[in-house]
Structure 1
Amino acid sequence: MSSPNPVNLQEPFDAGLATRADFTLDQPLHLYGAVDHAVWKQLYTRQTALLKGRVCEAFLDGVARLNLSSEHVPSFAAINTQLTPATGWEIVAVPGLVPEQVFFEHLANRRFPVTWWMRRPDQLDYLQEPDCFHDLFGHVPLLINPVFADYMQAYGRAALAADNVGALPLLARLYWYTVEFGLIRDAASPSGVQIYGAGIVSSKSETLYSLESAAPNRLGFDLARVMQTRYRIDTFQKTYFVLDDFAQLFELARTDLGPLLATLADAAPFAAGAVLASDRVINRGTQQGWQTDGDV
């Protein structure tokens, strides 16, 4: 699973596999066919070429350290032999999207749920629900980075607490604008920013749009602002929030979010494309191609 949003739990691929109470299962390596491996290879080759100069070094370092295969769908167990000794995280196979509470429990205990099945060849450029490529290639490389690893566990714990006090939408926005669609400053990059969010990293079109399009806003990261900002699940993002560096996540992982959640619980959210007078504006979007409704 890749995002803490209300989900349809109907499995997109019914292989008759038994799942445990925590929705995990044994990765069915025997069920991957030649088409699955070919799709993985095509996506891996395309994205690794496209991401050069566009993605943060921590992500590329993670890909190298995990020794991700470029030829076939990787074994989760093999990845864990590199990941777990480094940061204490492990990946667990799941049939697809899992309930929010289950997802947060996994994160809080340094387990990342990875959808086991691969998309079809006709779904290379768009897939409504996360598949193995999105979850594994998009999310897992940064889990070998100690700062990001701590942030993800802290997020899981904070989300469990937020769920108990009815503040989960605030945490869902934080996940969306960091883990899924986050950018980070990089003076050496032509656009001044680079990618680290999994929703961008695993998508050819969003990789190009997030960095090169004039349409979206790119705003400096501010915790309260992010948690109050709605987002898009059906189109490119109207706004991307940009970290100064991963030290911001280091501090966030050690922040008690309780008081801020209480303060913001009843605050009206901002539109996905809003630019406020208080924002640190890196690029103000032209809004070209934006839809006027559909913010989540």
Structure 2
Amino acid sequence: MRQQRIRTPVTLDGRLGPASRHPSMADPAYLARRRALGELARDHQVGAPSPLVAYSDLEHRTWGVVHRALVHEQRKHACREVVDVVDALDLPDDHVPQHGEVSARLGRLTGFRLTLAGGVVDTRRFLGSMLDGYFHAVQYLRHPAVPFYTPEPDVLHDLVGHGTQLATPRLAELYRVIGRTARRLRTTEAVELISRIFWFTLEYGVVRENGDLRAYGAALLSSSGEIECFRGAEIRPLDIRMMANTHYEINGYQPVLYRAESMDHLTDTLTAFFDGMDDETPARLARWPGRP
């Protein structure tokens, strides 16, 4: 999990409430499980095999319920290139897949592999590892009391959201382009800008397809609530300068999304920008001192 990732509001008693009210925050057994799985990533080296996790029957059931719902919504609202790989990736419904199981499938499709994260990962490490075909993913699962919301990204977000993207050749190549850029740039500001563009595209991107808006961003692909209503956001044309200066919402549905006119448009725009980016790019894109 990289820094600054999606936290959508949870519906509690019919209302939207803060993450602090989520049942996981008051469940000692869940918090202990979360810590134990996070500790498995201590001193983990990028590319080393992830340890096997003995998931409980309840965790397997939670995975199955949410995974089936997400695939259903992806088929209705995701772009064609994403929908086409859902069957090829073939994530299971009956159990939480191990990292090695998913890595084997991704490896055959695009050459990507999962590498273990225990929680927040340094942004430079997270992005730079993509150049080598590694994506940092966690192993812990959300609390079963509210299965369609998690206050932090979990294994469902990482595998059903990012994993589906990484099975898509075009999007997997964009991950590598981003990784190459993060690896060669040196300033904190440059890495933060890469992360911001990643947020508005590979996390929350939408694309025009046959006259309709379709989702390709991982955060949308892994949220059965937001993928149904993202068309109600303010939709702006894909614009790097605008994205660089737009506030993004960590604690709720995104109020502003950026639309590519086609997947070719997305690929051409991002590849040209990242290949031409240098450490001075953030200063050139800033509209005023201190970007939001």
C-alpha distance in 2 between matches for 1:144 and 1:217: 29
> Does structure 2 retain, via aligned residues, the 8 Å contact 1:151–1:249?
no
Deviation at 1:202, TM superposition (A): 0.9
- Among 53, 58, 82, the residue aligned to 2:81: 58
C-alpha distance in 2 between matches for 1:86 and 1:269: 44
C-alpha distance in 2 between matches for 1:50 and 1:221: 24
Residues 168 and 33 (structure 1), Cα distance of their counterparts in 2 relative to 1, 3 Å cut:
same
Residues 165 and 35 (structure 1), Cα distance of their counterparts in 2 relative to 1, 3 Å cut:
closer
Counterpart of 2:209 in structure 1 is 186
Counterpart of 1:40 in structure 2 is 63
**More deviation in 261-270 or 49-58?**
261-270
Counterpart of 1:143 in structure 2 is 166
> Does structure 1 retain, via aligned residues, the 8 Å contact 2:123–2:191?
no
- Among 232, 246, 257, the residue aligned to 1:229: 246
Counterpart of 1:14 in structure 2 is 35
Residues 195 and 217 (structure 1), Cα distance of their counterparts in 2 relative to 1, 3 Å cut:
same
The alignment's TM-score, normalised by the length of structure 1, stands at 0.79
**More deviation in 262-271 or 54-63?**
262-271
Structure showing the higher helix proportion among its residues: 2
**Partner of 1:113: helix, strand, or coil?**
strand
**Partner of 2:225: helix, strand, or coil?**
helix
Aligned residues: 263
- Among 150, 155, 160, the residue aligned to 1:127: 150
Structure 2, gaps ≥5 residues long:
7-30
Deviation at 1:140, TM superposition (A): 1.1
**Partner of 2:141: helix, strand, or coil?**
coil
Counterpart of 1:199 in structure 2 is 219
**Partner of 1:267: helix, strand, or coil?**
coil
Residues 183 and 266 (structure 1), Cα distance of their counterparts in 2 relative to 1, 3 Å cut:
closer
Deviation at 1:119, TM superposition (A): 0.8
Counterpart of 2:20 in structure 1 is none
**More deviation in 159-168 or 233-242?**
159-168
- Among 64, 82, 102, the residue aligned to 2:125: 102
Deviation at 1:99, TM superposition (A): 1.5
Deviation at 1:29, TM superposition (A): 3.5
**More deviation in 100-109 or 248-257?**
248-257
Counterpart of 1:281 in structure 2 is none
Structure 1, gaps ≥5 residues long:
272-295
The residue type equivalent to 2:271 in the other structure is: A
The alignment's TM-score, normalised by the length of structure 2, stands at 0.80
- Structure 1 stretches (4+) deviating beyond 6 angstroms? none
Residues 91 and 23 (structure 1), Cα distance of their counterparts in 2 relative to 1, 3 Å cut:
closer
C-alpha distance in 2 between matches for 1:18 and 1:184: 35
C-alpha distance in 1 between matches for 2:146 and 2:47: 25
Counterpart of 2:54 in structure 1 is 31
- Among 241, 259, 264, the residue aligned to 1:247: 264
Deviation at 1:75, TM superposition (A): 2.6
**Partner of 1:126: helix, strand, or coil?**
coil
Deviation at 1:196, TM superposition (A): 0.8
Counterpart of 2:135 in structure 1 is 112
Counterpart of 1:5 in structure 2 is 4
Root-mean-square deviation (CA), in Å?
Answer: 2.8
> Does structure 2 retain, via aligned residues, the 8 Å contact 1:162–1:171?
no
